[in-house]
Amino acid sequence: MIDTSKIIYSINIEDVQNVAAEELGRELSEKELKIVEDKIGDCIDWYSAIEFAIQNEILRRGKYETNY
């Protein structure tokens, strides 16, 4: 049985700080991190990302898995 609560992808503080260092030349403060944390989900089109992976990696390759 598939664990439907398993996280497939996540972004951690280190990821955010790496981008901040590249873009701002510094790390974010705790307050700034909270702002990013509150907004990042609004910026990521999860549906399109999942659809893209399905279309380009599953359907394109013809890999269908049936669990009947």
Q: Render 4-64 in DSSP notation, one character per residue.
A: TT--S----HHHHHHHHHHHHSSPPPHHHHHHHHHHHHHH--HHHHHHHHIIIIIITTT--
pLDDT of residue 9: 92
Q: Which of 13-17, 35-39, 40-44, 57-61 has the lowest mean pLDDT?
A: 57-61
pLDDT of residue 57: 87
pLDDT greater at residue 19 or residue 68: 19
Contacts for 12-17: CB closer than 8 Å, 24+ residues apart = 16/40
Percent pLDDT > 70 in the chain is 91
Q: What is the pLDDT of residues 23-54, one digit of tens each?
A: 999 999 999 999 999 999 899 999 999 999 99
